Chain A
Amino acid sequence: MEVYILLGFVLLLSIFLGLELISKVPSTLHTPLMSGANAISGIALVGALMLSAEGQIQNVLAFFAILFASINVFGGYLVTNRMLSMFKKKS
């Protein structure tokens, strides 16, 4: 029980930290920020890798969880990078 309270604390603090960090973003960066944040939500990959593999169902679920999260991670970072490399300020 205590561990959940502690982790719930981490959760709330992180949300507030996130709100503080991103409260003033220029609109130019709205899309890259969204897409970059989207890539970060692929952190579910770490969770997928922690799953157990007792039975058949678990193995299938783990496979697809890893697959979907990997698509999210690789696709998300690449497309964000591609987008950001287009943002230029001409001298």
Chain B
Amino acid sequence: MYTLIDITIFQNLVYIVSSVLFILGIKMLGKESTAVRGNLLSSVAMLSAVSVTLIDVDIGITIIISAIILGALIGSVIALKVKMTAIPEMVALFNGFGGMASFLIAWSQFTDTQPALLQNLLIMITIYIGGITFSGSIVAYGKLSEKINLEKGSLVTNILVTFFYLSIPALLIMMFAPALSIDLNFIFFGFLVLTVLAGLGFVMPIGGGDMPVVISLLNSLSGIAAAFAGLLLLNNVLIVAGSLVGASGLILTIIMAKAMNRTIGNILFVGYASASSTKSEGEQGEVKPITAEDAYLILENASSVLVVPGYGMAVAQAQHVVRELGELLEENGTEVKYGIHPVAGRMPGHMNVLLAEANVSYDLLVEPDDVNPTMDTFDVAVVIGANDVVNPSATEEPGSPIYGMPIIEVHNAKTVFVLKRSMSSGFAGVQNPLFFKENTRMLFGDAKESIGTVVSEFKD
């Protein structure tokens, strides 16, 4: 028979194995050829860590089983039903749930024991990070699914932002309260509410185009919250797994910020400066509209085409018809590539997922650095619902708010088609001189319809 000590030792041994599997799993997730197995390995790690924890629990088995079954049902239904265009908001939602779990763990630990100074400190940090991750993710979810539409600078936003700034000193007080012999029980509940409000205020003022950074950061925070919960519960596997998530989210955050040529602080707390340069207004010229039929004639004679998708492709759900066009072009003897900017869309890799869903081979996707040097060899660059990531101001106008941001330099291609619904400027609010260039043709209208017309011309 096992004694209590043996169970703990056995559990910790399994936790070590799980940690190793998590490490291998996340490493394999970073390579195309091994990614599927990596995800599988990490799920095996999860299964073994959870199973071995179940050997010895305090909570009633009915509660555990009903909560897990309900969670499995909800999670599976969301994961299997969600459309690929809705992936960003769904990842945001799951992040939030992970943060919530850590928040509740720390809350329970607080009501459970009279915590000593260090424990109290960990409880408060876990609550804070978990709470901010939860409500921040809910806002990100709302913004991405266009359920929340509060302007930066509106009254509600300003009040929420104030809560965010208030929450920082509140956290410090709560962390060191036992040392100051403040009775925490009275203010604890207020602190819980404040952290949730603070998360709303943290994400609310950040614009939709900056969401790739926010989602990566919330992803990182959900891991850090789990790692702190692990410190609190003295559990190794929580610490290791949580830290890995924290690190991977941090890397993505940095990659995204770099791709915008902005600092993380600028994205989170400043936002784009209102277009300071008025220079661009002077050089606005005539735009040259084109019909889908004419676009077809030019594409038919092109020997190489670069497709540059942006958030507009996701909104128009145009990825399938884009793939169809690509295949028709290839049959016609045209070389087709897809130029993907790291921050195109609303989350890291958004365009890659959409094109993969539409069955575009991933070796046709190229990054800005690969394609820019040979841009002048492309006969046609087709920009589909992208704006800031192809804005030549970033390389040509030192006064522009987006100056220095790495872009896909489509203006160096022989001809540029821009598919766009109207002449409105992109997320950054910066006028795009690309539209007025000599070699640019504007194809106005819904991207899906426009490409659909070109495709049917090809078929005739």
Contacts and interface: CB of A to CB of B under 8 A. Distances in A.
Q: Which 5 pairs across A and B sit closest by C-beta, in order of nearness?
A: A70-B71, A18-B247, A30-B349, A75-B75, A74-B75
9 contacts: A31-B352, A34-B249, A36-B39, A48-B104, A61-B104, A68-B100, A70-B71, A73-B71, A75-B78
B316 interface: no
Interface string A61-85: 1111111111111111111111111
Contacts of B361: 88-90
Given A59-B63, A72-B101, A74-B71, A38 B246 contact: no
Nearest to A26: B32
A68 B104 contact: yes
Interface residues of B, number: 108
Given A19-B251, A49-B53, A58-B111, A70 B231 contact: no
Interface string B75-96: 1101110101001001100110
Contacts of B58: 50-53
A35 B222 CA distance: 12
A17 to B, nearest CB: 7
- Chain A contact residues: over half helix, strand or loop, or mixed? helix
A38 B243 contact: no
Interface of B: 22-23, 25-27, 29-32, 35-36, 38-40, 42-43, 46, 49-50, 53-54, 57-60, 63-64, 66-68, 70-72, 74-76, 78-80, 82, 84, 87, 90-91, 94-95, 97-98, 100-102, 104-105, 107-109, 111-112, 118, 215-216, 219, 222-223, 225-227, 229-252, 255, 340, 342, 347-350, 352-353, 356-357, 359, 361-363, 365, 367
Contacts of A43: 22, 46, 49, 226, 237-238, 241-242
A76 B234 contact: no
A64 B35 CA distance: 31
A18 B59 CA distance: 33
B189 to A, nearest CB: 11
A41 B98 contact: yes
A62 B79 contact: no
Interface in A20-63: 21-55, 57-59, 61-63
B108 A25 contact: no
Contacts of A48: 101, 104-105
Given A65-B108, A76-B75, A46 B32 contact: no
Contacts of B239: 7, 10-11, 14
B362 A88 contact: yes
| Residue of B71, B74, B234 with most chain A CB atoms under a 10 A cut-off | B71
A28 to B, nearest CB: 5
Contacts of A3: 234
A19 B118 contact: no
Contacts of A27: 340, 342, 348-349, 352, 367
A83 B355 CA distance: 11
Contacts of B26: 18, 21-22, 33, 36-37, 40
Nearest to A90: B361
Contacts of B215: 34
A41 B242 contact: yes
B78 to A, nearest CB: 5
Given A14-B247, A29-B352, A49-B53, 10 more contacts: A15-B246, A19-B250, A34-B347, A35-B94, A36-B26, A44-B238, A53-B60, A62-B59, A64-B67, A87-B362
A32 B40 CA distance: 13
A74 B342 CA distance: 28
A46 B50 contact: yes
Given A7-B239, A68-B97, A49 B244 contact: no
Contacts of B111: 55, 57-58, 61
A87 B350 CA distance: 13
A31 B349 contact: yes
B98 A42 contact: yes
Given A30-B349, A31-B352, A47-B229, A7 B252 contact: no
Given A69-B71, A87-B35, A40 B22 contact: yes
B249 A37 contact: yes
Contact of B240 (A10, A36, A59): A10
Contacts of B22: 40, 43
A41 B405 CA distance: 32
A18 B244 contact: yes
Contacts of A63: 63, 66-67
B35 A84 contact: yes
A18 B57 contact: no
Given A7-B234, A53-B59, A45 B50 contact: yes
